[in-house]
Amino acid sequence: MKTAPELQNIPRDIPLTTDFAQKSQLGYKVTRSMARVLNASHMALAEAYINGLEIPDSLLQRSIHASMPVLFKHAPGVLAPYEWVLNETNRIAEGSRELMKVQYDLPQAMLNQMLGDWKLIYPKYSMGLWENGAVDLEESQKHMIDQVINRLGIEDGDHILDFGCGWGCVPNYILSKFPNVRFTGLNLSHEQCEYMRRKMQDPESYLSSGRFTLYEGDLNDAQFPEKFDKILSIGVFCHVGNLTQAFQKLASLLRSGGKVFIHIITVRIPNNFSSGFTHKYIFPNGRYWNYDAVPNHNQDLKTVQRWYINGTNYHQTAMTWLQRFDSSQETVKHLDYGMDYAKFRRMWRFYMLLLGTIFATSDGEYNGNGQYLMVHT
């Protein structure tokens, strides 16, 4: 697997913001029209697949491999299907309750089976790190969290906020390594919070150590009685639409001299990226920030270091999730998804195939993960 070098000469075909002057440019209008056409074709394919069109996985994957490098390199602007993908929203995150319903509060027996559920590594819905020789999903997630520990510089005794903590996997693993670290987890998903509350009663779990505090709530409204030494947020900022407000909020929660670590899916093109299919069926209001977006918002926090992690790591993670989903059909098909299971299965497979394959295109050099170490300005 290749280590990603910084990309040079990134193409710039559309402006990053949509102010009046830019909107009136012919090039901008043409790009927006092309984005609408591409999105309409993408939705037509996705919905035909969901409704039963038989397309072998390999054909779908080959077409993604053929088209994405061209779009990343020569027409990145068309990868923003809606104008809102290019702009900041009014709140930190829009439509969070809808997101919980559509995605995070889905039957946990399915998500947990797909993501993996072990003694230390609880379901973790973000990239595993494979490039250092991990042999399976569990190990790839340990490698990923070890890297976060090093890059954030976690020290024993730190009080850390996990902003969008999933099932508590990262806190549980880090608490197992540091006997005096304390964690606070914030999550809006009721089902994921129920999972953590059970672990907080389980003597085998580090979440029951008395060093973990859980807040079930919306990151838009986050408030805590004390400030934190470190804040980490992994895989959450694809749901954040306003970086300015998000960093203002995180800065207000961080003690003086503290550090913030943001880990996101990112794309090394000039503009942000999204998909009409994932917006409608998987992650309402979701977007992938371009690699420069975080350091370009440095009013309240500034980026002191950043890293690009090659997308092939997420490719391998997502393909492993897909295999685990496919191999658990006998169990997961009986759960309640609020729709016909055959339809749900096709929708979910399309999502996994799309996600997993795009990360592998262009050798993982355009669509990967970004990590940002930030401090107060």
Ligand X SMILES: C[S@@+](CC[C@H](N)C(=O)[O-])C[C@H]1O[C@@H](n2cnc3c(N)ncnc32)[C@H](O)[C@@H]1O
Query: Which residues contact ligand X by CB under 6 A?
Result: 93, 96, 99, 104, 124-126, 164-166, 169, 186-189, 192, 218-219, 234-236, 239
Give whichever of 160 and 188 is closer to ligand X, judged by the CB atom. Answer: 188
Residue 217 · residue 186 · CB < 8 Å? yes
228-234 and 289-290 strand pairing: unpaired
Q: Write down the least CB distance from residue 14 to ligand X, Å.
A: 28
Give whichever of 49 and 277 is closer to ligand X, judged by the CB atom. Answer: 277
Q: Write down the least CB distance from residue 62 to ligand X, Å.
A: 28
Neighbouring C-beta atoms of residue 247, cutoff 10 Å: 24
Give whichever of 254 and 264 is closer to ligand X, judged by the CB atom. Answer: 264
Q: Write down the least CB distance from residue 263 to ligand X, Å.
A: 8
Q: Write down the least CB distance from residue 215 to ligand X, Å.
A: 9
Give whichever of 284 and 364 is closer to ligand X, judged by the CB atom. Answer: 284
Give whichever of 14 and 170 is closer to ligand X, judged by the CB atom. Answer: 170
Q: Write down the least CB distance from residue 104 to ligand X, Å.
A: 4
Q: Write down the least CB distance from residue 283 to ligand X, Å.
A: 9
Q: Write down the least CB distance from residue 285 to ligand X, Å.
A: 10
Residue 42 · residue 64 · CB < 8 Å? no
Give whichever of 192 and 272 is closer to ligand X, judged by the CB atom. Answer: 192
Nearest Cα residue to 184 out of 163, 157, 169: 163
Q: Write down the least CB distance from residue 56 to ligand X, Å.
A: 29
Q: How far apart are CA 295 and CA 305, in angstroms?
A: 9
Q: How far apart are CA 269 and CA 77, in angstroms?
A: 9
Neighbouring C-beta atoms of residue 73, cutoff 10 Å: 15
Q: How far apart are CA 309 and CA 127, in angstroms?
A: 10
Amino acid at 374: M
Give whichever of 96 and 361 is closer to ligand X, judged by the CB atom. Answer: 96
Residues 6+ apart with CB under 8 A from 319: 352, 356
Q: How far apart are CA 67 and CA 194, in angstroms?
A: 42
Give whichever of 104 and 212 is closer to ligand X, judged by the CB atom. Answer: 104
Nearest Cα residue to 359 out of 305, 320, 303: 320
Q: Write down the least CB distance from residue 169 to ligand X, Å.
A: 5
Amino acid at 29: K
Give whichever of 239 and 249 is closer to ligand X, judged by the CB atom. Answer: 239
Closest CB to ligand X: residue number: 166
